[in-house]
Amino acid sequence: MMPIGPLMIEHRLIERMIDVMREELNLFEKEKKLNSDFVEMAVDFIRTYADRCHHGKEEDILFRELGTKKLKDEHHHTMEELVEEHRWGRKMTARLVEANKRYTEGNGEAMTTVTDCMRSLIHFYPKHIEKEDKHFFIPCMDYFTEAERQALLREEWEFDRNLIHEKYKNMVIAVEKKLTALTL
Ligand SMILES: [Fe+2]
Ligand SMILES: [Fe+2]
């Protein structure tokens, strides 16, 4: 398998989640109320899977190695755009989290911000994925030898293997901090 194989498989799951988010958004607008538990679950998917796991492998492995190659201007430019789009996605997700929190605290007006953020993310992901799948990933493989491709793939598996430990270690650190703050 090429190192873009796992990334493309992950794109398919992100698309499925975006489809569910689209359906939920329609429901929120029809019923004029949010299901904040769904929003929280979607945020966890976006932050842990789409951003940390998926964008993490793109930026920390594939793009890092592409950065050591003499890229064509077109590929260099696209890679910068993709990193900038990842940053935009993080900011939009943070806005979504903040508005969903306000909504759960009883601020009904926050609903518009939640639905706007969801709509933006639903619009963003398919375009971002198409840019990578159709215009970037495949031509970029030509910069690597077969041995380099295999090393990239191995590093991706290792990255994934460590992820669940990282997620739950951070969760324990966060709850420990909360507890310490409470008992001080
Ligand atoms: Fe990406
Ligand atoms: Fe991607």
Tell me the ligand closest to 79's alpha carbon.
1
Whether 163 has a pLDDT exceeding 90, the answer reads: yes
Spacing, Cα 106 to ligand 2 middle (Å): 35
Q: pLDDT, tens digit, for every residue of 104-146? A: 999 999 999 999 999 999 999 999 999 999 999 999 999 999 9
Spacing, Cα 129 to ligand 1 middle (Å): 7
* Structure confidence at residue 184 (pLDDT): 78
Spacing, Cα 55 to ligand 1 middle (Å): 5
Amino acid letter for position 45 = F
71, 143 Cβ separation under 8 angstroms: yes
pLDDT band at 12 (very low <50, low <70, confident <90, very high): very high
pTM: predicted TM-score of the whole model, two decimal places: 0.94
Dihedral sign computed on CA atoms, order 124, 16, 38, 35? positive
Spacing, Cα 89 to ligand 1 middle (Å): 10
Range 32-61 average pLDDT: 98
Spacing, Cα 128 to ligand 2 middle (Å): 7
Return the SS3 of 132: helix
Around ion ligand 2, residues with a beta carbon closer than 5 Å are: 132
Amino acid letter for position 78 = T
Tell me the ligand closest to 63's alpha carbon.
1
* Structure confidence at residue 102 (pLDDT): 98
Spacing, Cα 130 to ligand 2 middle (Å): 9
pLDDT band at 183 (very low <50, low <70, confident <90, very high): confident
* Structure confidence at residue 141 (pLDDT): 98
Phi-psi region of 32 (alpha: psi -120 to 50; beta: other; left: phi over 0): left
